[in-house]
Amino acid sequence: MFSLPELPYSYNALEPYIDEQTMRIHHTKHHQAYIDKLNAALEDKTDLASKSIEDLLTNISSLPDDVQTAVSNNGGGHYNHSLFWQLMGPGQSGTPTGKISDALITAFGDFTNFQAKFTEAAVGRFGSGWAWLVDKNGKLEITSTPNQDCPISSGQRPILGLDVWEHAYYLKYQNRRPEYIDAWWNIVNWQEVEKRLPA
Ligand code: MN3
């Protein structure tokens, strides 16, 4: 049985960039719903219920046919959101320093270029999905996925992720996804992002 992880900060901690009501609904309703549906799908699959979410998502094609979609959608939803909460926080500087800064400069030339490319991936994701910074075979790349598809299901390691489903921003930003993305850069917790870099 999977359960909802607590946020590492209060629901209003990301104000004014992400409002309290959005955070509360996103965490207690949307994230919880992915977990409930994942648990329901695995209820009579005792061999699967003990696996970690990473194991389930890494080998979706090896799972029984009747749970593959549920693991992809709801398992992905659980994994992606659990990561997303960790990668944000109050009181951030808006700019990476140290190892993560060096890694971004190596891969993208400078932070401004990285930020522009990531923003482009997030704005350009048609419909619901995520923008990602991933490690792919030892190289940092920017990508995006539809729905709740998780990079680890295609052999990539997520380093940074941004939820661009409308439920992540609609109450405060309505249809203005680019404004939400601009605001979000202020609350990226770069120390947490850095921890996801491969050693
Ligand atoms: Mn979401």
Domain count, the chain: 2
How far apart are the CA of 148 and the centre of ligand 1, in A?
9
CATH number at 103 reads 3.55.40.20
How far apart are the CA of 81 and the centre of ligand 1, in A?
6
How far apart are the CA of 160 and the centre of ligand 1, in A?
14
How far apart are the CA of 25 and the centre of ligand 1, in A?
10
How far apart are the CA of 106 and the centre of ligand 1, in A?
30
How far apart are the CA of 31 and the centre of ligand 1, in A?
7
For helices 32-42 and 76-86, angle between their N-to-C axes, nearest 10 degrees: 140
Q: Is there a domain that residue 11 lies in?
A: no
How far apart are the CA of 78 and the centre of ligand 1, in A?
9
d(CA 1, CA 117): 38
Q: Based on the fold, state whether residues 141 and 166 are members of the same structural domain.
A: yes
Contacts 24+ apart (CB under 8 A), 10-15: 13/89, 13/90, 14/88, 14/89, 14/90, 14/187
Q: Based on the fold, state whether residues 71 and 35 are members of the same structural domain.
A: yes
CB 68 within 8 A of CB 43: no
* Statement: residue 199 has pLDDT above 90: no
Tracing tokens 């996103």 back to the chain, one arrives at: 26
High-pLDDT (> 90) share of the chain, % = 95
pLDDT of residue 47: 87
Residues 6+ apart with CB under 8 A from 186: 17, 92, 94
- Global pTM? 0.97
Q: Based on the fold, state whether residues 51 and 127 are members of the same structural domain.
A: no
Mean pLDDT calculated for residue range 22-30: 98
Instruction: Choose the final residue of a domain: 52, 86, 120.
Output: 86
How far apart are the CA of 29 and the centre of ligand 1, in A?
10
Q: Which of 10, 23, 57 is nearest to 180 (CA)?
A: 23
Q: What is the mean pLDDT of the chain?
A: 97
- Single-letter amino acid code for the residue at 37: K
Mean pLDDT calculated for residue range 133-152: 97
Mean pLDDT calculated for residue range 148-156: 97
Q: Which domain holds residue 142?
A: 98-195
How far apart are the CA of 163 and the centre of ligand 1, in A?
6
How far apart are the CA of 174 and the centre of ligand 1, in A?
15
